[in-house]
Amino acid sequence: MNGSNLYGTVYMKSLDELDYRIITLLNQNGRTSNVEIARQLGSVTSRTVANRVENLVEQGLIAIRAVVNPAAFGYSVLADVLIETDPGRLKEVGLQLADLEEVTYAAYATGDRDISIQVVAKSNQSLFDFVAETLGNLPGVRRTQTHLLPAKIKDIDTWLPPTGS
């Protein structure tokens, strides 16, 4: 793996087949015990699995945590919002956007927009209100472009590195 991870640190790491298989099983169910992973793999002990998982976590290659389902809390509307900022205000605006509860993802972008965010809302009206009032009144936000997302196909919580990485 090459580049910045979710924690801001740059790593270059190759996964061996065992690491990859462990990550695949944890990706399917992060609560799977080391004993169960070892049983499913059939060729290692639970202690080996525990050591591998601990190493992967310490290196910042994986994190084991709860993934919240926004729809279960009534946030069934999903949208990408591209934002153009005033010159010199990019980082300031980006940090403010990242702190908003409705924002599930925020990143600086290239092209004709400066920041890309993903927003969850309870209704189309609440999405409209968020974009028009919250974003529209945020100092440094020059222009927004909203794309309603009717269905999510894949997200970071199910992504796996390419085989042989």
Give the model's pLDDT for residue 158: 82
Instruction: Provide the Cα torsion 94, 56, 34, 163; round to 10°.
Output: 90
Pair 119, 130: CB distance under 8 Å = yes
Query: Residue 134 above 60 pLDDT?
Result: yes
Host H or E run for residue 41: helix 34-41
Task: State the pLDDT at residue 123.
Answer: 97
pLDDT tens per residue across span 89-127? 999 999 999 999 999 999 999 999 999 999 999 999 999
Q: What is the pTM of this model?
A: 0.79
Domains in the chain (CATH in brackets) are 2-58 (1.10.10.10), 70-149 (3.30.70.920)
| Distances in whole angstroms, Cα of residue 91 to Cα of each of 73, 107, 112, 130, 162 | 30, 10, 16, 20, 32
DSSP 63-82: -------GGGGT--EEEEEE
Phi, psi of 38 (to 5 degrees): -60, -40
pLDDT one-digit tens code per residue, 8-65? 554 556 789 999 999 999 999 999 999 999 999 999 999 999 999 999 999 999 999 8
pLDDT band at 2 (very low <50, low <70, confident <90, very high): very low
pLDDT higher than 50, residue 3: no
Query: Which residues lie closer than 8 Å to 158 by C-beta, 6 or more apart?
Result: 27
